[in-house]
A and B are shown apart, each in its own frame.
Chain A
Amino acid sequence: GQSLEQPSEVTAVEGAIVQINCTYQTSGFYGLSWYQQHDGGAPTFLSYNALDGLEETGRFSSFLSRSDSYGYLLLQELQMKDSASYFCAARGGSGNTGKLIFGQGTTLQVKP
């Protein structure tokens, strides 16, 4: 089957660094995306890794290891507004089918 596993909850304090892991099992893997969703809001795109290695975008970085079927999202200098759910996602299927498979989400709680 096709699935992505991530921790259900993570708690950290303001100013700290937190890492959210994601392991995946998909056919026809093309890359790993990360989305942020605040309560009651729409998911918003954070980053995408097609190749192994680290991608950095401001306070957020994302890492992919294809050989380990593993990736993570790293959030630095945590702020209260970072409290949200974070989803890893991968495109399932082959060819041009656009099926995007999401993990169950990790709820990040940032405490003062």
Chain B
Amino acid sequence: ETGVTQSPTHLIKTRGQQVTLRCSSQSGHNTVSWYQQALGQGPQFIFQYYREEENGRGNFPPRFSGLQFPNYSSELNVNALELDDSALYLCASSLGGQGGETQYFGPGTRLLVL
């Protein structure tokens, strides 16, 4: 059984650029959630995808967008990067479209915006 994987592990961008982060869900899971975690803070929910449809969104602006593919892997896209977007981006996979109870997290992508 393959766990949740994310790529890249680290990324440095400059303000105004765009970034795409990728996540492969755990085998058998059809739901992917994305979180932003600033240093010393808890993860903040960005959005969730269930069977390729957005299934809930947190308080993030539209420049944060996502996709889920038929194999349930997912992308997080962030346009017009700002300094405050520097954070650890985590994806978590789960089964069933609710995802609130048990989520399996990937190792994260650490994004630095200069």
Contact = CB atoms under 8 A, between A and B. Distances in A.
Interface of A: 30-31, 33, 35, 41-45, 48, 50, 87, 89-93, 96-105
A101 B56 CA distance: 12
Nearest to B4: A42
Contacts of B44: 102
Contacts of B103: 45, 100
Contacts of A31: 100-101
B100 A91 contact: yes
B58 A99 contact: yes
Q: Say whether chain A's binding surface is mostly helix, strand, loop, or mixed.
A: loop
A50 B48 CA distance: 21
| Interface size classification for chain B | 20 to 34
B60 to A, nearest CB: 12
A45 B99 CA distance: 12
A69 to B, nearest CB: 17
Interface of B: 4, 31, 33, 35, 40-45, 48, 50, 55-58, 90, 92, 94, 97-108
Contact of B42 (A48, A50, A104): A104
B108 A101 contact: no
The 7 closest A-B pairs by CB, nearest first: A91-B100, A97-B56, A102-B42, A98-B99, A42-B105, A98-B48, A99-B56
A104 to B, nearest CB: 5
Given A98-B50, A98-B55, A33 B45 contact: no
8 contacts: A33-B102, A43-B92, A48-B101, A91-B98, A92-B45, A98-B97, A98-B98, A100-B33
